[in-house]
Amino acid sequence: MFSGFKTGIAIVLATGCSPCAFGATPQASTDAILPYASIKRPQAAITRRDSAAFGLPVPIPHKGVLLSNGSFLAPGASFTIVDFDARSITRLTTVLDSLPDGKRELSLTGKTTRTLDAAELNRLIDNANKVWDPPPDTRPGSPMVLDATCNIVLFDGDDMLNQWGFACPYNSQNLIAALSAIKLDWK
């Protein structure tokens, strides 16, 4: 009787079931997530988080990415915000409205959010790490685009890496492609 009991306990423990619960189910597995920003190559674009104000209608993540795209010739812009801690991605579309007093105000025209699975999160973290610690660049700067703007900001606690230009910087192209590959349903 004891050998059957020991075998049953061994099976229960091996499958991840709690031996104390009647009708227990296997415990959820935890997906391994890559470390983020463990190596940061000194760059002029790394500053303190408190040196910037974003004015977006969503919180800026403690650890994550903000990508914005716009144009000098149109008032619309799009934003992608990834929160690595919350495992979420949010996409916003906005328009810059002119107010009667001559000031401008950012208005939200679309928003969607979803949870990232472990594979998507790891792909983003891997590519973000390559922006924090880029390989030696042998290419010229970003391609010349006259009316488009791109801003990619990486957050790691109080550290912020902010790259921007007329087109997205060369060393962030893989991260931007990984962000663009994530599909979201617009609400």
Q: At what angle do helices 118-132 and 173-181 cross, to 10 degrees?
A: 160
Residue type present at position 161: L
Q: What pLDDT does residue 140 have?
A: 53
Q: Give the tens place of pLDDT for each residue, 107-158.
A: 899 999 999 999 999 999 999 999 999 877 655 555 565 678 888 999 999 9
Query: Residue 132 belongs to a domain with what CATH number?
Result: 3.30.1560
17 and 74 fall within a common domain? no
CA dist., res. 49 & res. 143, Å (int): 28
Number of domains in the chain: 2
Q: Tokens 């949010």 appear where?
A: 90
Is there a domain that residue 106 lies in?
Answer: yes
Asked if the structure places residue 37 within a domain, the reply is no
Look at residue 39 and tell me if it is in a domain.
no
For residues 21 and 76, state if they share a domain: no
Q: Is residue 85 included in any domain, yes or no?
A: yes
Q: Are residues 5 and 64 in the same domain?
A: no
pLDDT value, residue 145: 59
pLDDT tens track of the chain, all 187 residues? Answer: 444 433 333 333 333 333 333 344 333 446 899 999 999 988 878 888 888 888 888 899 999 999 999 887 888 899 999 999 999 999 999 998 888 998 888 889 999 999 999 999 999 999 999 999 987 765 555 556 567 888 899 999 999 998 887 777 767 888 988 998 998 886 5
List b or e across 46-61, with b for residues whose CB sees 16 or more CB atoms inside 10 angstroms. Answer: beeeeeeeeebeeebb
Q: Are 144 and 176 part of one and the same domain?
A: yes
What gap in Å lies between CA 109 and CA 17, rounded to an integer?
47
In sequence order, which residues have a C-beta less than 8 Å from that of residue 35 and are 6 or more positions away? 125
Residues 4 and 72 in one domain: no
- 36 falls within a domain: no
Q: Which domain holds residue 5?
A: 1-30
- pLDDT recorded at residue 7: 36
